[in-house]
Amino acid sequence: MSYSTFNRKHFDSMKEPMFFGENVNVARYDQQKHPIFEKLIEKQLSFFWRPEEVDLSTDRKDFQRLEEHEQHIFLSNLKYQTLLDSVQGRSPNVALLPIVSLPELETWIETWSFSETIHSRSYTHIIRNIVNDPTKIFDDIVTNEEITKRADSVSIYYDRLIEMVNLYNTMGMGTFNVPGKGDIEISMPKLKKALYLTIASVNVLEAIRFYVSFACSFAFAERTLMEGNAKIIKLIARDEALHLTGTQHMLNLMASGKDDPEMAEIAAECQNEVRQIFIEAAEQEKEWATYLFKDGSMIGLNAQILGQYVEYITNVRMQAVGLETCFATKHNPIPWINAWLVSDNVQVAPQEAEISSYLVGQTDNNLDDSDFDDFDL
Amino acid sequence: MTLISKSTNPTKNDKVHRVLLGKKQILVTEDEPLLIQLERAGIHVEYQCREGYCSSCSIKLLWGHVSYPFEPLAWVQSGYLLACCAIVKSDIEIAFFD
Ligand code: FES
Ligand SMILES: [Fe+2]
Ligand SMILES: [Fe+2]
């Protein structure tokens, strides 16, 4: 079955599954099989922000005053985040658009991926502000072994799915010999399994991997350092919260069988593999924490505490997709992080109040005192 | 955390329910979501968005009834509630991770 950018068949898109049904033809949103994706689109659009609106002028001075091992922590995180958003800015589109079958989900995927490009642009904004030669930092992302290890684990499921869908679209079903890779079997169950595992690994990427960097960014900000960066990370974290809800919905809808009965069987079949994806990612992130703090810790955060946070947040995320939790850490070792992760708007109640401040002109880089109420290290 | 206080809410209703959490018992009203009332009682609950779209505040609802003034964007697993936006409607028992 080859992909068509405008499927000429007549069919009822309300009866299609999320993926591997008909290619979408008319982009219509007056009716939705899964209204949640339409709501996610609206929410994401209401979050729109531009990195340049956040003033980073004091971050430059702060950065110069950081100790060397703190600069290592800060820059390594930034590199890792740049890697993750480079992947996320394209992969949902490349991997999922050729196989999606619902207009509202198709548009959610595009909206989601677009917002990742804003995140990528914000890293350039941050890096430009703190160093004279951004190239050195960007180049290291493809050469630094600790980072490239991460790249392998975040892209492997996407790449496998893309490869299989390419084969499916050009050759159809069957077993095909791909030079350098051997025999690859293409069948609907195999494709669906590759998809399910991909969505799980994306959920892990957005719901666990990112939070390690978030914790470090906010630990600096707790010491009133790199506060412009923290403002940007806050906006990114708000977007990521929505993205992880998107993948949780996909996973839960698939597992429930409400969308595609065959998908429910596959979800049940690979429950163990999915658990393993969560556990492995948590272990990799703990390793990463060790790398971050190899030359010294920072006030309020060290490899051990960050490792516990990884375990805790992994438990939270596993529970959210109906998996049994697997780590002993039942309490958040850095509860102050939540006060940073929360969107400011809830503190003033009506949601429009804050969002408009991001749209109109520059956000003030000076956090006011009330931002620091109620938590300490 | 004391973020929002809606104690001046004119539609205030006086119903009080018990929330059991392990050996603790907390009294809550229907005026505000569960999360903020737990926090006031000194109980730490995980949260991020406080608006129903991130699922961080998901906790087990062992028995009892809650309702949502608006449908949360986050998926609510059966047997769980979203503390940031759930209004407690009866005595309930909740639990964190086992
Ligand atoms: S805090 Fe985000 S759903 Fe409750
Ligand atoms: Fe992102
Ligand atoms: Fe994301």
Burial of A294: CB neighbours in 10 Å, binned 0-12, 13-18, 19+: middle
Does A347 sit within 8 Å of B49, measured CB to CB? no
What pLDDT score was predicted for residue A150? 86
Of residues A252, A332, A342, nearest to B50 (C-beta): A342
Stretch B48-57: mean pLDDT: 96
Under a CB-based contact definition with an 8 Å cutoff, are residues A285 and A310 in contact?
A: yes
Question: Would you say the C-alpha torsion A124, A127, A131, A135 has a positive or negative sign?
Answer: negative
Mapping DSSP to helix (H, G, I), strand (E, B) and coil, where does residue A249 land? helix
Q: Which helix (H) or strand (E) holds A69?
A: helix A68-88
Specify the higher pLDDT residue, A150 or A277. Answer: A277
pTM for this prediction: 0.90
Among B49, B80, B87, say which to mutate for ligand 1: greatest number of ligand atoms within 8 Å of CB.
B49
Question: Taking 50 as the threshold, does the pLDDT of residue A373 lie above it?
Answer: no
A77 is written with which tokens?
């995180």
A292 is written with which tokens?
């971050």
Report the distance separating Cα A183 and Cα A70, nearest Å: 47
Strand-pair category, B58-63 with B92-95: antiparallel
Stretch A185-208: mean pLDDT: 97
Q: Which residues of A touch B73 (CB under 8 A)?
A: 36, 39-40, 43, 242, 245
Q: Which of A104, A108, A134, A140 is nearest to A121 (CA)?
A: A134
Instruction: Compute, in degrees rounded to 10, the torsion defined by CA atoms A167, A168, A174, A175.
Output: 30
- Tally of residues, chain B: 98
Stretch A149-153: mean pLDDT: 88
Stretch A27-43: mean pLDDT: 96
pLDDT above 90: percentage of residues in chain A: 87
Q: What share of chain B is helix, strand, coil (3-state, %, to 5)?
A: 5, 30, 65
Q: Which helix (H) or strand (E) holds B21?
A: strand B16-21
The string of DSSP codes covering A87-140 is HHTTHIIIIITTTB--HHHHHHHHHHHHHHHHHHHHHHHHHHHH-S-HHHHHHH
On the CB side of B94, CA atoms within 13 Å amount to 27
Nearest CA in chain A to B84: A346
Question: Would you say the C-alpha torsion A291, A119, A214, A200 has a positive or negative sign?
Answer: negative
Active site residue A168: no
How far CA B35 is from CA of A49, A68, A97, B51, in Å, comes to 28, 40, 38, 11
What pLDDT score was predicted for residue A26? 92
Using the Cβ of B23 and the Cβ atoms of chain A, whether some distance falls under 8 Å is answered with: no
Does B3 sit within 8 Å of A347, measured CB to CB? yes
What pLDDT score was predicted for residue A366? 47
What pLDDT score was predicted for residue A263? 97
Q: What is the pLDDT of residues B9-36, one digit of tens each?
A: 555 677 999 999 999 999 999 999 999 9
Stretch A349-376: mean pLDDT: 40
Relative orientation angle of helices A227-256 and A261-269, to the nearest 10 degrees: 110
DSSP code for A298 = B
Q: What is the pLDDT of residues A156-173, one digit of tens each?
A: 999 999 999 999 999 999
Please give the mean pLDDT across all residues of chain A.
90
What pLDDT score was predicted for residue A176? 97
What is the residue type of A103?
Answer: P
Q: Which residues of B touch A40 (CB under 8 A)?
A: 73
**What residues does B21 pair with on adjacent strands?**
B24, B94
Question: Taking 80 as the threshold, does the pLDDT of residue A377 lie above it?
Answer: no
Residue of A80, A123, A211, A309 with catalytic role: A123
DSSP code for B59 = E
What is the residue type of B51?
Answer: E
What pLDDT score was predicted for residue B14? 77
Q: What is the pLDDT of residues A1-26, one digit of tens each?
A: 689 999 999 999 999 999 999 999 99
Does A330 sit within 8 Å of B97, measured CB to CB? yes
Q: Which of A174, A228, A238, A264 is nearest to A54 (CA)?
A: A228
Neighbour tally for A138: CB within 10 Å: 15
DSSP code for A19 = B
CA distance A242 to chain B (A): 6
Specify the higher pLDDT residue, A134 or A353. Answer: A134
What pLDDT score was predicted for residue A343? 77
Question: Taking 50 as the threshold, does the pLDDT of residue A346 lie above it?
Answer: no
Question: Taking 60 as the threshold, does the pLDDT of residue B51 lie above it?
Answer: yes
Does B55 sit within 8 Å of A320, measured CB to CB? yes
Q: What is the pLDDT of residues A218-274, one digit of tens each?
A: 999 999 999 999 999 999 999 999 999 999 999 999 999 999 999 999 999 999 999
Question: Taking 80 as the threshold, does the pLDDT of residue A370 lie above it?
Answer: no
Report the distance separating Cα A40 and Cα A49, nearest Å: 16
User: Any idea what the Cα angle at residue A143 is, between residues A123 and A278, rounded to 5°?
Assistant: 70
Nearest CA in chain B to A208: B56
Q: ipTM, 2 decimals?
A: 0.87
What pLDDT score was predicted for residue A348? 33
Q: What is the pLDDT of residues A74-115, one digit of tens each?
A: 999 999 999 999 999 999 999 999 999 999 999 999 999 999
